[in-house]
Every structure is written in C-alpha cells, then in structure tokens.
Structure 1
Amino acid sequence: MTTNSKAGAGAGAAAGAGGAAGSDAEVASGLPDIHEAAGGIPVPPGGEGGDHPVRHYGDPAGEYEAATGAVAMVDRSLRGQFVLTGRQPGRMMSGVATGSIPEFSAGGRGRAPGSLVLTPKGRPIADLRILRLEPGEAGALLLDVSRAAVGPLLDHFRRSMPPLFARPRDRTAERGVLTLVGPEAAPLLARILGVLEEEGLLDAAGGEGWAPCPDAEALGGLPEGDEIALQVGARRAAGAEGEAATEASPPATPDPGLRVVGQGDVAPMALDLLGPRSLLVRIWEEARSAGAVPAGRAVWDTLRVEHGRPAFGVDVDDTILPPEAGLQDRLIDHGKGCYTGQEVIVRIRDRGRVNRHLRGLLLGAAPAPPAGTELYQEGRDRAVGEVRSVVQSPRFGQGIALAYVRREVEPGGQVQLGSPGGPVARVRALSPEGWVPEED
C-alpha cells in the first residue's frame, strides 16, 4: 500500500519556525515509548510525515483491514496545539479565521470547527481546528494545527495579533492527538473511558464546561467537528504535574482536558482524542490490549484519498485558492464577519467559478505517477493539471490520486499522465462526502 505526495510550501516548517510568545515553537514528536514496541517504521527525519511519526507497522494491508473492518489507532501527535489567551482571543481569531469561532458549552458538548487562515490574496497559510475552553470575551481557545501549518501560522500571529489581546501558548510538548478509526472505535473508546473514570484518571463529576463520560451511542453519532470535553481526574493531574515542566514551560493556561472530536477526513468512522500525552499512551495501551491495531501514515493517506479529502501541506498550500480545493463549504463560514482574504473568497463565490478544481483520478493499470506529475489532455501540448496525492486503493482496486485539473476537463473525461502520449487516467468529481459516482 504505497503512497506518494507533494509537500507544500509550509511542509516541515514547524521544526524551524519561530514559536509562540517570542520563543521557538516546540518540535513535535510522536507519543513516547510505544511505536518501537509495536514494530513501527518511522518516517525519516525531514520526510513527508505529515502529522504522523510512523509510516507503518510492518503490515499496511492488515492495518487497512483493521481500520475498515474493526478498529485501528493512529498517532497524529506531530500536530501543534496552542492555547490562545489574552483580552480578546476570540475576536482576534475571528479576524483571521475563515470559519466561525465556537461558543462555550457549559455542558461540555460543543463544536470544534475546521478553519483556514488566508493571506490577503486568499491563499491558505494554515488549516486548524478551534475549540472554546472558557466563556466570555477573554475566554481562551485551543488551536489544533496541522504540522505543516505551525510555522506559517505563528509567523502570521506575530505580524497580525497584538499579544495583549491574543497570545498563543505552545502546549505541543505535553499534548498529542490519537485517532481511533473503524466501525468498532466508538464502543471500544466508551469502554476505555469507563475504565479511566473508575481509576480517577477522568473526573466523572465534571463541572461547568465538562461532559460526563459518553457511551458508545453518543460517540458513534458524533458528527464531524463536534466535540465532547472530558475533565482530567485529580489522580492523573497530580501524577503529571511535572510532565512538561521545563524552563521553557509557558505560564499557567486553562486545562484543555481530554477532547473527543468527530473526525471526517477518512471514510470509516473515526474519533480524534486531543489530550495529555501520558493519558493518550494509556488509552493506546488499553486499546491495543483489546485488539486495536496500530496504523501509520500509509493507511491514513489511503483512507483519506479514498474519501477525496485534501491534506494541508500536500494538496492544500499557498499556491491554491480554497474553492479550487473544494473547501468553501466545509472550512469557510460565509455568514461571519470580516477576515483576512475574505474579499477574494466572496468575489469567487459571486463569480461562480475558478480555473481549476481538485479532482479524483482513477489510474487503472498505469504506474503510480510521482507527485507533481503534469497532466495533459488529448490534442493539447500544454499541461492541464498536476498530481498531488497518490495511493494504491484496496477499495477502488487500483491506483487513485488527487490532482488539480483545469475546469475545461470535465468529470468523466480523461487525462494523460506526464506527457501528451502518457498513460490515461479517468477524471472524477469530488465532494465533501467523497468521490462523486459516475453517471451511467
């Protein structure tokens, strides 16, 4: 199960980026002490790891089977997590984010909407999820940021956000992201959360802003972008008091706890867990002992491309416009107030077209083209597109790809790979729900 991708302009920027609050951003790493024991093959340093520290665990086919038929677990802890504090973090974030800023939920059941941050010309700087931690104008936000977007986003914050009103505090070193994927993810997670509650690692009583531990039905019905906030118990908090206590530790910020967020970038049912790394390691261990299979980036990319979802730093970067990637309905709130780049987005919306679209390609028997391969249409010498993500798909029974294709090449048509006489691929339309079926 091979994958091929093109790293965007922001890829890898996190490692060398100037960080929040005038210090260097934390260099993200995977969850500690679990991958080697599971046989993980790490992504080489500087490689196209995306949000994942591990490429696979020796059996990508078995990992895919678990993710689509039972349950797999994917460490995506290379993502950045920042707590935004200040006098008006919500207002400041609303001025740069394309999506809405969620309201505080006293009952712990709220929204964690996806969003983009754009240049004045409408080009994506970053994609992220925004979670509300506190009520009120000064209520803190948690930002969950793609690895490739961390550096550009922090640079943008330094240029555009007065620190008195909004200041990002880097929590990446102490927090991670673990994703459970598959039809058995919800019942397994419900059982594990119950165990953690009994052991005092989660607080069943909760309080304002926290939810009781959800059952399998609540977890299984969690829509994409909805979240459940769970309070970390006193036992775990006491045991982890010095977990990230270093000289570079930020001042005290609100505790984000454990957040369960509906994930929609892959087609099987999936749940993201954003929480303290030590707690996520415990969840990993409990899940593995119950039969969950560790899975790496290879399987994640296969599931993602099969679902037609672009990844930041691969399919989405500062060379494209959001409507070209089909992001206008999912990551842009057209009813909100002003944000940087809005004028370009509104003009495209009202004009009703862009010059190219992100499409799916069915490769048939053609060899997998490298990312960046140009696409041609019969009878034309100039390229009409470019390949981005490529995977070998068990679901489609062939190689498939995500590619930008000029609008005159309609779905159902064909393109040639690499040259006007190259191998032929069929073009398919994509939607937020996946690949659009071909008409008979």
Structure 2
Amino acid sequence: MTTPSPLLSRPGAVPAEDGSVPVHYGSPLREQRELAEGAGLVDRSDRDVLVIPGADRLTWLHSLTSQHLDRLADGTGAEALVLSPQGHVEHHLVLTDLGGTTWADVEPGTGQELQTFLDRMRFMLRVEPALVTADWALLSLAGPRSDDVLAAAGLPVPAAPYAVLALDGGGWVRRMPPIGDGSAVVDLLVPRTDVAARADALLAAGAALAGLDAFEALRVEARRPRFGVDSDHRTIPNETGWLTSAVHLDKGCYRGQETVARVHNLGRPPRRLVLLHLDGLSEQLPAPGTPVLAGAREVGRVGTVVRHHDLGVVALALVKQSVKQDAELMVGGAQAAIDPDDAPVAVDDTLAAARERVKAVRSATIPRA
C-alpha cells in the first residue's frame, strides 16, 4: 500500500501517479540543475525496504544472489540481483550491512514479492527477513555540494561508494555511485516519522528540494537502469551495467549463474543498453516498453524517457546487438539516435556517423521547463 510522503505538502509539490512522492516542485529543469551543480534533496520514500537480521544472513544472501556477500564488511553495502534459473533478472537489491543487520532497498512495489521469495528460501537458517517500508523511508541528497550539506547539518559523511555510517536516532547514511555527469549521491534511510524533520535540517544546511523527475533525468544520463522499467522479463545482467555493479563473476554457484558465465565468456549478449536521443517534438513522452523500430522492424524497447536540462529528450533502451550505431530509429513516432558514447570504440566510421545522426535529431529538440 502506498504511503504518501509528508513532503507532498511542500509548496509546488506535484505527486507521482501513485500519490507517493513529489515528481517535481514546479520547475523540473531547474531542479535538475540543482542536482548537477548544487545539492538537491530527493524524496525516494516510495522504494520498498526490507530488513534481514540473523547470524546466517550474509552467507544466505550470498547463496541466493549474484553478488559476493559472505564476507561483506560491517558498514558497507553492495548491489545484487536475484536471477531466474535461466539467468533473467527477477529483483535488483541495494544492500547495506550495519550492526549485525542487513537492509535491502528495492524498486517500489517489489518488496512483498521479494519477501515471499526469501521466506521460501529460509529453510532452517537463522534469518528473519521482514518488509518494513511502512516504518522506514529513503531520501537522497545529490549534487557536488552534498558533502557540504551533510557536514553543515552535523551528519556523518561516508567517504567511498557503498560506505555506510549510522545516524543518531536510527537509520544510516550511504554513499552511492554518482549520477549525471558525476554528481555525488548520498542515501539516507530514516524513520518514516522523521522524514519532515530530517528534510528541514538538510534544507537549512543548504540543500534545495528536487523532485524524483530530476533524479531520474540524471540517472538516465549516467545509464543506470531501473529494474522493471529499463529491464523486462528477458533481461540478463550482461545486457546492462549490472554486470559490473551487481554481479561478482568469480563467486560460487547461484541460480542463473550458468547463463551469466556463458554469455560473458562468449562476449556478445543478445541486447545492449544504450542512451537514445529523441527529437522531442511531441509533448507526450513514450512510455516504458514502447518498441524501438528500424523501419518496420522492431529492434528493441525503451525504458525510462526523460526531458534532460542539457541533452533534451533522452531514453534508456535495450536494443539488439545487430542494430548499427548510426541506424535511423523511431520510438513512438519520434526520430531517435543512439548516443555516440555508446558506440563500439573500434569502429571509427560508425562513431562519426552516429555523432552526425545525434546532431540532426537534437537540432529539433526543444527542452521544456
């Protein structure tokens, strides 16, 4: 059940379709620039949160997921995947281990299904997974001034990605990989009853409110996929950046490992994740799952589509490996081109053609506030 955030009462707040969190506060592009240049506070309390205490928790999670977790150090975190026996991604978890307890924050609406899976796999082990979304909320501070804001608010500042420090009053603060063109990201897990007070303290320390749309735009720029949005039922880790962020290629057996190892050794997954530039002429952005067409042939599907403050309309897309870098593509009636930075570095002619194609598409793009 959706729990509306108290930040929806702030001036200008526009709620997400499910009424959970603000998508913006009246100026999405300005809010993006705050994340890119300053420090923006983003309400991500729509994410589901699970807590996993118990002496066997790390070895148990190690056996169930794609990540090497049995020696995860206290005060650190990691990303991990639950895969099907065929290697398809079923869940994406961001894990944090602190004080003898492992926390997992996952995509909105997926927590109950994950808990059901974990309960089925408990057997006689000393683990007690529980869904605690009703009690805990995730906030994110993003931008180059994030550390300054944390320090001014008297909060601990984690030094390295996935480093975790405890917060007074419960919860923790965790550094994550950057988004956008290098904007720092720090997550704060706080009691849901403390969201408003914690937000006020961070705003007083120099942060500005920014909606989820702004965070999503910079996430897309960084090519960081979201489970269930930028992935589908056929997605394997090798097709996305998860192969490097959420998979340990040298660990022991886990469900789906054979597919991951085989495709990795062959070096050619069926699809690849790319950044698409769309012409941006339509007010209506294509929905996740909209086909990517090369002529009449379907060659992929888009995930997140956003209006970026600098790039115009861009999207993450899974496209077939056979799609050429300079292919003329269509998405929901909009012209589209693959970003040249996603081109195979060894094919100089294709790279040059891709840059020209992007210039042609972006020349028609009109960013909107």
On whether the aligned pair clears a TM of 0.5, the verdict is: yes
Report SS of the residue matched to 1:371: coil
Structure 1 position 344, deviation (Å) = 1.2
Match of 2:199 in 1: 284
Alignment of 1:9-408 (within 5 A): 27=1, 29-31=3-5, 33-45=6-18, 53-101=21-69, 103=71, 105=73, 110-134=75-99, 139-162=100-123, 164-193=125-154, 213-214=156-157, 219=158, 222-224=159-161, 226-232=162-168, 236=169, 257-264=170-177, 266-267=179-180, 268-367=183-282, 368-378=285-295, 381-396=296-311, 398-408=312-322
Q: Return the letter of the residue paired with 1:428.
A: D
Distance change in 2, residues 1:394/1:80 (3 Å): same
Where 1:301 maps in the other structure, the secondary structure is helix
Corresponding residue number in structure 2 for 1:426: 337
**Aligned counterparts of 1:301 and 1:416: Cα–Cα separation in 2:** 22
- TM (norm. structure 1) is 0.71
User: Does the 8 A contact of 1:375 with 1:384 survive in 2?
Assistant: yes
- The 1:228–1:327 alpha-carbon spacing in structure 2 relative to 1, beyond 3 Å, is closer
Instruction: Give SS of 1:151's match.
Output: helix
Give yes or no for contact 1:376–1:415 (8 Å, CA) kept in 2. Answer: yes
Residue 35 of structure 1 aligns to a residue whose secondary structure is helix
The structural deviation recorded for 1:407 is 0.7
CA distance in 2, matches of 1:311, 1:296: 17
Residue 411 (structure 1) aligns with? 325
Q: Distance in 1 between matches of 2:193 and 2:152?
A: 18
Q: Given residue 259 of structure 1, which amino acid in structure 2 is its aligned partner?
A: W
Shift of 1:150: 1.2
Deviations 1:110-166 (CA, angstroms, capped at 9, x unpaired): 4211111111111111111222234xxxx4322222224313312211322226432
Shift of residue 180 of structure 1?
0.7
CA gap 1:402/1:34 in 2 versus in 1, 3 angstroms = closer
Q: Label 1:39 to 1:423 Cα distance change in 2 as closer, same or farther (>3 A).
A: closer
Cα pair distance change 1:165/1:411, threshold 3 Å? farther
Over the matched positions of the two proteins, sequence identity in percent amounts to: 28
- Letter of the structure 2 residue corresponding to residue 384 of structure 1: V
The answer as to whether partners of 1:73 and 1:178 remain within 8 angstroms in 2 is yes
Q: Point out the structure with the larger strand share.
A: 2
Q: 1:416 to 1:231 in 2, by over 3 A?
A: closer
Q: What SS class does the counterpart of residue 162 from structure 1 fall into?
A: coil
Closer, same or farther: CA 414–101 of 1 in aligned 2, 3 Å = same
Instruction: Report the CA distance shift for 1:357/1:430 in structure 2 as closer, same or farther (over 3 A).
Output: farther
- For the Cα contact (< 8 Å) 2:96–2:164, is it kept in 1? no
Q: Is the 8 A contact 1:89 1:165 kept in 2?
A: yes
- 2:223 aligned counterpart, secondary structure: coil
User: Which residue of structure 2 lines up, in the alignment, with residue 203 of structure 1?
Assistant: none
The answer to whether the 8 A contact 1:116-1:125 is kept is: yes
Structure 1 residues 171 and 372: alpha-carbon distance in aligned structure 2, compared to 1, 3 A threshold: closer
Could you list the per-position Cα deviations for residues 255-294 of structure 1 after superposition, in whole angstroms to 9, with x for gaps in the alignment?
Answer: xx43221222622211111232344432210122344221
- Count of aligned pairs between the two proteins: 342
1:145 & 1:370 partners in 2: Cα distance? Answer: 21
Q: Is the 8 A contact 1:148 1:312 kept in 2?
A: no
SS of the equivalent of 1:34 reads: helix
| Unmatched tracts of structure 2, length 5 or more | 343-347, 353-369
Tell me the SS of whatever aligns to 2:244. Answer: coil
Aligned equivalent of 2:356? none
Would you say the 8 A contact 2:47–2:105 is kept in 1?
A: yes
Residues of 2 paired with 1:28 and 1:370: CA distance? 22
Per the normalisation by structure 2, the TM-score is 0.84
Aligned equivalents of 2:107, 2:92: Cα separation in 1: 6
1:11-51 alpha-carbon deviations (Å, 9 max, x no partner): xxxxxxxxxxxxxxxx35254x3321333211233x7xxxx
> 1:429/1:119 Cα in 2 relative to 1: closer, same or farther (>3 Å)?
farther
Q: Which has the higher contact order (CA 8 A, sep 6+)?
A: 1
CA contact (8 A) 1:148 1:313 kept: no
Report the Cα offset of residue 366 of structure 1: 4.6
1:318-367 alpha-carbon deviations (Å, 9 max, x no partner)? 33112122321111011122211111111111122122111111113553
Give distance in 2, aligned partners of 1:163 and 1:346.
Answer: 30
Where 2:64 maps in the other structure, the secondary structure is coil
Could you say if the C-alpha distance between residues 140 and 289 of structure 1 is closer, same or farther in structure 2, counting changes exceeding 3 Å? Answer: closer
CA separation of 1:292 and 1:386: change in aligned 2, threshold 3 A:
same
Quote the RMSD (CA, aligned, Å).
2.6
